[in-house]
Amino acid sequence: MKTSTIALAAALALSACGSPSNTKAQEGGFAEAPRQVPGDAAGLKASFAPVVRLAAPAVVNIAAQGVQQYRDPFWGIPGQRQTGSIGSGVIVRPTGVVVTNNHVIQNMQQIRVTLNDRREFPARVILSDERSDIAVLQLEGVSERLPVLNLDDGNDQQVGDLVLAIGNPFGVGQTVTNGIISALNRTETGISDSGSFIQTDAAINPGNSGGALVDMDGDLIGINTAIFSRSGSSSGVGFAIPVSMVRQVIDAAVGGATAVVRPWLGVKGETVSQDIASSLGLERPRGLVVTNLYPNGPAARAGVREGDVITAIDGTEVHDQGGLNFRVGSRNPGDAVQITVLRDGRSQTLNARAQRLPGDADTDKAVVIRNGALTGASVLVLNPALADSLGGDPFASGVIITGVQGRSYAAAIGFMPGDLLVSINDRPVTTAQQAESLARGARVTVQRRGRLLNTTIR
């Protein structure tokens, strides 16, 4: 965050801020100034109004409606019920391109967007990315240039920086709350295995999802997406998706892509604990120990070895797999990536090039099994691209069940969509032909929702 010389000149007691630069003024923002603690109590009474006036017109309210299929639990009669969702969004292109959370519009058929000036527009989804929880909408019927927020993905935010959360909590209309960045690069949140979130104490309530987290220049630095709260209220810890990830989804959407392509290095590791750090002679726990390399993958070609400790990607520290996935995944395929590793007590930098995950992620190519115990199941041989698109481990192998016909033999045995067939009679399953050979009496290992299940087909 860069401090505003207009909104917080008194609050931050800046001694020599100067006037707004021409470049920043043309973008609608404020001049940069050094961070400084408020000098006196009077300085704390300054207003955020100039920042709000700049940012608020580009923050919108979203109301979505859908139809949910259900079956009566007593009579078993199928039916439909109306569902709805409210949230927030941010205009990022003057032609009416809006970014929001995917969970705000997922499975919804009608989307209506209300601007800050109360104008309403229908919207359609041009790209939804469940993995990052970002969706991009296009407002329909836009005949003039709309206000937008500048995207600041300079990664110059610091813990303690002031931020504003702007959104539509509880559907009451646009509201603004302020707070500070309380942590950066939060990865072990359970929200996403490839996310690195901005943590804030700004009040975030239901309906704020998809809204803007802005700095004191009025620039967008994140999309508010979740809050951890014991009470369910705003008295908790809020998390925002950094703009570096948001921009990737926006660029893919406006470029006509149907999915976000995230590159990888083909490396898997384990977080360095205190015990691991002691065994490696490290002064403190940092980085992750490489435990697996994809054959001939980008990291392997760059010279990374199993047992290396990866401490940074492009100069930014990483401490777990999620942090590494985020740093690499927010790049584009073909980009150069610098990997800093510790090897034999010495630090060195290796040059790699991020690449698309190998394989085909198209689930429409599933094969329907016609014989054996899996009759009626649709299967695909797992590959890194497919596994990643399904939210799984790109290093996983096996045959995944993508669908099961209602009264099929596979359904009667108990197989379910999403099951990963790992082995048959203790032999790894790597082809659809092996899956078709599954018969009674065979021992099978299936991974279901992250758990390994061992059984014998009866």
Active-site residue identified among 85, 88, 129, 133: 133
The answer to whether the CB of 327 falls within 8 A of the CB of 318 is: yes
Q: Which amino acid is at 255?
A: G
| Direct distance between the N- and C-terminal alpha carbons of the chain, in angstroms, rounded to an integer | 62
Residue 103: active-site member? yes
Residue 133: active-site member? yes
The radius of gyration of the chain's CA atoms, rounded to the nearest angstrom, is 25
In whole angstroms, how far apart are CA 270 and each of 196, 290, 349?
17, 7, 19
CA atoms of 382 and 236, how far apart (whole Å)? 39
Active-site residue identified among 4, 85, 88, 103: 103
The answer to whether the CB of 37 falls within 8 A of the CB of 14 is: no
CA atoms of 175 and 206, how far apart (whole Å)? 12
Active-site residue identified among 85, 132, 196, 209: 209
Q: Which amino acid is at 178?
A: N
Helices (H) and strands (E) in the chain, counts: 10, 27
Cα–chain-centroid distance for residue 128?
A: 11
In whole angstroms, how far apart are CA 13 and each of 25, 34, 240, 331?
22, 10, 28, 38
Task: Provide the pairing of β-strand 267-271 with 346-353.
Answer: unpaired
Task: Provide the pairing of β-strand 110-114 with 162-167.
Answer: unpaired
Residue with tokens 């705003």: 234
In whole angstroms, how far apart are CA 397 and each of 366, 383, 422?
16, 7, 7
CA atoms of 420 and 423, how far apart (whole Å)? 9
What is the set of active-site residues?
103, 133, 209
